[in-house]
Amino acid sequence: MIILEKIKKLVGAIKFERKVEIRRRLLASIENQDARNVPAVRHIKQRSLFSFLKPMPIFAVLVIVSLLGGGVSLAAEQSLPGDALHAVKLNINEKVVKALSFSEKGKANWDTRLAERRLEEISELVAAGKLSSSTQALVEELFRDYAEKVQERIAKMEKGGAVKDAEEIASRFESSLRAHERVLEKFNSKVEKLKQKLGEAESRVAQARKNLENAIKSATSTPENQSAAEGKIKAASNFLDSTRKYLENRKEKLGTGTTSPELAEAIKKAEEKLVGAEKILAEAETKLLEGKYGEAFVLASKSMRAAQEARLSVVIEMKILKRADDHDDEDEENENDGDEEDDDHATTSANILEKVRGKGHGRDKD
């Protein structure tokens, strides 16, 4: 295999500066003793409330974060729009993770998560009784931006020939939007505008996904496409299994913990949806045996989408329940302090909105 010897030389080693960068990043993570929250060393433009750090690389920001202590960043993760720490969540935590993603797919995945996080926040805000008009405006604005960014990434991936990756992102985002849409239904008119934006994003993403699937369906029967279909079916099957276990687990806990009719209902609906997902997966397997790899891939993706939606609707319901519980506890403790709450949140979030908008959040060129 002389030819492979040649190619070894051709490919060469990892670029020196990238190797050093990854090493520094790993080292920072070791020193923080928390490998799950890896700090990034990538030079991203830090346009944020922390704009005084602008000329510094993100590594410097991380040193500051570690000086502050991981606790701030952790506490910020739990914050909601309107909380003081929400700025840390948006401008440090989320941007650090973003800087960790090099590939287009990695970036698209994270932008999807960011849009989802904003939707989760809205539901949690309602549950916590903290939804003011300005926090709502902030979240709506952020959601719209991230959702657009995801769509741009999907289009870019498609253009670059990564059709299956683009379809995966679109499919996941669509299932998430649908799960959130269902949850928002019960909040009635409170979040009308967001529901509208969500609906618009959903139909655009669904359209993009359908176009991508048409391209995949027409794919020829190459070993590469066979492997892709097999891989997708396996991934869907694993996801369905883990969702089934998750739902069983939740159901067991229903009897023991806080009883919520909404949660019980969500679990019941999720189980029904999962049965549907299993049927679709069986169809995908049949298509695979028939050698129709493109169709098998698309069906496996559909099955996964249904399972994702099922699982997410329960996950969101759990989060809402937790916030509502926290809110009840707070109410008991501060029975007389509630009146000024909305105004306080309005001021903080208006400031954040102004700063975040003004500094072009989530629009870093990377």
Partner 1 sequence: MSVTPKELFLSAYDRYADAIYKHCFFRVFSRARAEELVQEAYLKTWQYLQTGKIENIRAFLYKVANNLIVDESRKRKGVSLDKLIEEGWEIAGSRENDQRLKAEFREVMDGLKILKPEERELIIMRYVDNFGPKEIAEITGNSANGVSVKLSRATEKLRKSFNK
Residue with Cβ nearer partner 1 (216 or 263): 216
234: contact with partner 1 by CB under 8 A: yes
Whether the CB-CB separation of 270 and 175 falls below 8 Å is answered with no
Q: How far apart are CA 195 and CA 178, in angstroms?
A: 11
Q: How far apart are CA 108 and CA 111, in angstroms?
A: 5
The distance from CA 18 to its chain's CA centroid, rounded to whole angstroms, is 27
Structure tokens at 349: 């979030």
19: contact with partner 1 by CB under 8 A: yes
Structure tokens at 257: 């913990």
247 exposure class (CB count in 10 Å sphere: 0-12, 13-18, 19+): buried
Whether the CB-CB separation of 201 and 266 falls below 8 Å is answered with no
The distance from CA 297 to its chain's CA centroid, rounded to whole angstroms, is 23
227: contact with partner 1 by CB under 8 A: yes
Q: Binding partner 1 by CB under 8 A: which of 70, 160, 199, 257?
A: 160
18: contact with partner 1 by CB under 8 A: yes
Among 222, 206, 229, 212, which Cα is nearest to 159's? 212
- CB neighbourhood size of 355 (10 A): 16
103: contact with partner 1 by CB under 8 A: yes
Residue 198 CB contacts under 8 Å (≥ 6 apart), including other chains: 119, 143, 177, 180, 181, 184
- The one segment of 13-21, 121-129, 302-310, 343-351 that binds partner 1 by CB under 8 A: 13-21
155: contact with partner 1 by CB under 8 A: no
Phi, psi angle pair for 330, to nearest 5°: -60, -45
Q: Binding partner 1 by CB under 8 A: which of 86, 98, 153, 164?
A: 164
Q: Binding partner 1 by CB under 8 A: which of 13, 259, 332, 340?
A: 13
Q: What's the closest the beta carbon of residue 139 comes to partner 1, in angstroms?
A: 30
Q: What's the closest the beta carbon of residue 171 comes to partner 1, in angstroms?
A: 12
- The one segment of 7-15, 175-183, 317-325, 340-348 that binds partner 1 by CB under 8 A: 7-15
25: contact with partner 1 by CB under 8 A: yes
Q: What's the closest the beta carbon of residue 232 comes to partner 1, in angstroms?
A: 7
Q: Binding partner 1 by CB under 8 A: which of 89, 130, 172, 232?
A: 232
Structure tokens at 248: 């069983």
222: contact with partner 1 by CB under 8 A: yes
Q: Binding partner 1 by CB under 8 A: which of 55, 223, 255, 261?
A: 223
Whether the CB-CB separation of 269 and 185 falls below 8 Å is answered with no
4: contact with partner 1 by CB under 8 A: yes
Residue with Cβ nearer partner 1 (82 or 294): 294
Residue with Cβ nearer partner 1 (24 or 144): 24
CA 318-256-304 angle, to 5 degrees, is 40
Whether the CB-CB separation of 187 and 317 falls below 8 Å is answered with no
254: contact with partner 1 by CB under 8 A: no
Report 27-86 residues binding partner 1 (CB under 8 A): 27, 29-30, 35-36, 38
Q: What's the closest the beta carbon of residue 309 comes to partner 1, in angstroms?
A: 20
CA 354-181-252 angle, to 5 degrees, is 115
Whether the CB-CB separation of 135 and 346 falls below 8 Å is answered with yes
Residue 364 CB contacts under 8 Å (≥ 6 apart), including other chains: 44, 45, 47, 95, 98
Residue with Cβ nearer partner 1 (4 or 255): 4
- The one segment of 26-34, 271-279, 311-319, 339-347 that binds partner 1 by CB under 8 A: 26-34
Contact set with partner 1 (CB under 8 A): 1, 3-8, 10-15, 18-19, 22-23, 25-27, 29-30, 35-36, 38, 100-106, 160-165, 168, 222-225, 227-228, 230-232, 234-235
